[in-house]
Amino acid sequence: MQKWRKGDPNAIEQLVCKYQGRIYNLILKICSNPDDAAELTQDTFVKVIENIGKFESRSGFYTWAFRIAVNLTLNYRKRKATVGFTSLDAELAAGDEQVRQGLAAILSDDKAPDPAQIAENRELCELIQKGIRKLDDEHRAIIVLRDIEGMDYAQIAEVLGTELGTVKSRLSRARAALRQILEAL
């Protein structure tokens, strides 16, 4: 960051290489489309670079960049919804029955799930991702920020520009909705 601020031309590449993974995944989880995610990632970095002078080091770079990324993505989703967003219901209906049973087992099992086991099960991951996609944008964003990116409530409040209490209640509703969606699969 310091190199970029001092005008090092190679710093752009270093900046992008360092942060693009998390930003791309954040956007991809919210918008659910790799092409859109790639484009929105580019737009996010351009905005980051153009507004680098406004970045205050007291807030973490990720918090600042995530706020830009989430705002761009949610605005993009809103614009796309007005011209006819494709529902995911049809895709969910086509899920594999065996995968569905595996998901139900995890949800009902008293034992804690094994993350490695889930990650290795590509179909199960796909089903969970489909469940996440079924959430509305606000719920999806807060789930991704907390459960995938691991941000604390204060950071989430900063990224979303909301109060801490709103984060608590929204996250609670989002998880409840996701649980219901996954149970229904």
Q: Which of residues 11-50 bind other proteins (CB under 8 A)?
A: 12-13, 16-17, 20-21, 24-25, 28-29, 34, 38-39, 41-43, 45-46, 49-50
Decide if 160 contacts 141 (C-beta within 8 A): yes
Report d(CA 82, CA 80) in Å as an integer. Answer: 5
Show the DSSP H helices in the chain as ranges.
2-5, 11-31, 34-50, 61-82, 89-93, 97-108, 115-120, 122-134, 137-143, 153-160, 164-184
Shortest CA distance to 63 belongs to which of 152, 132, 129, 141?
Answer: 152
Least gap, CB of 136 to other proteins (angstroms) = 16
Binding residue for other proteins, selected from 107, 136, 161, 163, defined by CB under 8 A: 107
Binding piece for other proteins, criterion CB under 8 A, among 69-77, 80-88, 92-100, 174-182: 174-182
Which residues sit at the interface with other proteins, rule CB under 8 A?
12-13, 16-17, 20-21, 24-25, 28-29, 34, 38-39, 41-43, 45-46, 49-50, 106-107, 109-110, 112-113, 115-116, 118-119, 125, 128-129, 132, 143, 146-148, 150, 152-153, 168-169, 171-173, 175-176, 178-179, 182
